[in-house]
Amino acid sequence: MKANEVWKRCQSDENLPTADVVIGADTVVVYKDQVLEKPKDADQAISMLRQLSGQTHTALTGVHILAKDVHYQFVTTTKVTFASLSDDDIFEYVRQGEPFDKAGAYGIQGPAALFISNIEGDYWNVVGLPQHPLYQELLKLAKTKQWI
């Protein structure tokens, strides 16, 4: 939906440049079949981090590529394992305010990196944009559509 909205705006708003390609991405965290999106408040962030403590979860990023003749989507998954976290660790992290705009209440690229004991898959997927898979898909699309 994000990519579609940007595409429409770039095609119709004379104040914006016309886009040849729009790429949208969104990441969610899944733990025990439950989607952990961005927490609404500190209590929800604390609850999410307690759930993830000492456990493995999956980060999924959906990517949508739009161009004049292309509507292509793919999903990349990465398994992330948290070390066991103390309540002090969790409370301090939440106090810093970082969890509130991040799926699963953490950002792997910030202080929460200290919580990660293992990762299986693409680090950049957890950050929110799986760069290598995106590059590979763009190359395939470019060759198929004879962009290059």
Helix crossing, 42-52 with 87-95: angle to 10°? 140
CB neighbours (10 Å) of residue 65? 19
Exposure string for 3-41, b = 16+ CB within 10 A, e = fewer: beebbeeeeeeeeeeebeebbbbebbbebeeeebebbee
Length of the chain: 148
**DSSP label at 38?**
-
- Position 21, amino acid: V
Annotation marks residue 20 as catalytic: no
Catalytic residue among 13, 26, 43, 69: 26
Catalytic center residues: 26
